[in-house]
Amino acid sequence: MRLLIIGALEGQLSQATKLAMDGGAKVAHADTIDVALASLRAGRGADLLLADVMADIPGLLAALEAERIHIPVVACGTETNAAAAVNAIRAGAKEYIPLPPDAELIAAIIAAVARESSDFLYRDPVMAQMVKLADQIAPSEASVLITGESGSGKEVIAKYVHARSKRASKPFISINCAAIPDNLLESELFGHEKGAFTGAVARRIGKFEEANGGTLLLDEISEMDIRLQAKLLRAIQERIIDRVGGTKPVPVDIRILATSNRNLDESVKNGEFREDLLFRLNVVNLKIPALRERPGDIIALAEHFIKKYAEANGVPERPLGEDAKKQLVQAQWPGNVRELENTLHRAVLLATGDEIDAASISMPDGSGLGAAPQGSSVAAQAASTAESISRAMVGRTVADVEKELILDTLDHCLGNRTHASNILGISIRTLRNKLNQYAQSGEQIPAPGENRSSGAA
């Protein structure tokens, strides 16, 4: 656990520093937010920021988001700073700690962050087999490719492997290759020198250097531009990187983990992914089964999420009714664990009786989960639907049909770009390009968590 403390507070944070170090944390200190940001840019990473509540915490959170630095922030201050504490939480701080600090509270927060990074829940024998393999290869230095559907828990498994590796005490750094534009991803990975390009006002350490000594997770590696893959391959093979605009190679000591929800063998055949890079990454493959393939996990996970969100929302922790359990197990869960978590969060808020019943288990639009329909009526319904669709397409352009399909699919996924791209069978980058075109022509594009009707409301 790496803790970065921001501020002074007349020595009271020094006491927090001692308590954190007694709890096993490695602690660094920055007098101001600017000093803290400079430290993070320089690659001196942190797992948690503990900031004086009187500092500009909204500004700190905005700066972290702008620079794509994902670190939880906890505010701390004297008990008289109630208004500042509320503002910090509203801005996005995870917790507020009153000062002088309490040893048990500091220890609990450190333990919670560490636990969130490496623990996960499973019961099904299919999942147990995968975890057994993860335990077996975790102490090695082998690169690992973690595959599975979106929402199945690939990053959770990556953290699990790191926590059980010889590098567990060193940094675990993750970068989502699909979430960063191509022209910025190289700088994010390898860093840049001052003046390397417009806007490069200072040297910035990239994720490879930030992860030095530890583990680097390349999330959604399949979405990386093939031209950048060549530089990535050299970095993995030689353990040497070149900052953008730099003249001196920089050695790094890291273990590489990567995730993909796409078939990389198919991507290689289509010329979208380098075969030699796949060989380097895929020394060991951890394939996470979809949630519907491990039904033994569903109820255990559901009960975990009920407890979590009942506590978070201050509502009673109601047990799952038998009808609700049956509905959960029979559902197909295209969004896997992430979809299950969202469903149970809603159920915790919607339930009113002594237990969570089937009526509380619903989709965002209020409809029930439902299992796949059975019987001959399915074929008749499918034929009727296909005929009506065919009639509706006649006389329309391919571009119009494509746009309607993309936007309807995005509506179905409540604005989730990753889910929509998986259903459509296109890369998330292609989907984003299409959506940008539609937005420029005046089309309403739903934001994550919305559909077009709710976005217009």
Distance from C-alpha of 161 to C-alpha of 424, rounded to nearest angstrom: 31
pLDDT for 304 beyond 60: yes
What pLDDT, on the 0 to 100 scale, is given for residue 246? 83
pTM of the model: 0.62
Q: What one-character-per-residue DSSP string does 224-235 give? A: S-HHHHHHHHHH
Percent over 90 (pLDDT), the chain: 32
* Contact criterion met (CB below 8 Å) for 407 and 437: no
Tokens of 155: 């990053």
Return contacts of 188-191, CB within 8 angstroms, 24+ apart: 188/68, 189/228, 189/232, 189/235, 189/241, 190/231, 190/235, 190/241, 190/242, 190/243, 190/244, 191/43, 191/241, 191/243, 191/244, 191/246
Q: Rounded mean pLDDT of 243-269?
A: 91
Residues paired with residue 173 on neighbouring β-strands, in sequence order = 216
Burial of 143 (0-12, 13-18, 19+ CB in 10 A): middle
Q: Give the pLDDT mean for 108-113.
A: 64
Comparing C-alpha atoms, which of 50, 56, 59 is closest to residue 28?
50
Give the mean pLDDT of 244-268.
Answer: 91
Q: What structural domains does the chain harbor?
A: 2-102 (3.40.50.2300), 125-289 (3.40.50.300), 292-360 (1.10.8.60), 396-456 (1.10.10.60)
More confident residue, 203 or 456: 203
Contacts of 268 (CB under 8 A, 6+ apart): 274, 275, 278
Average pLDDT for the chain = 82
Please report, as a single letter, which amino acid is at residue 54. Answer: M
pLDDT band at 23 (very low <50, low <70, confident <90, very high): low
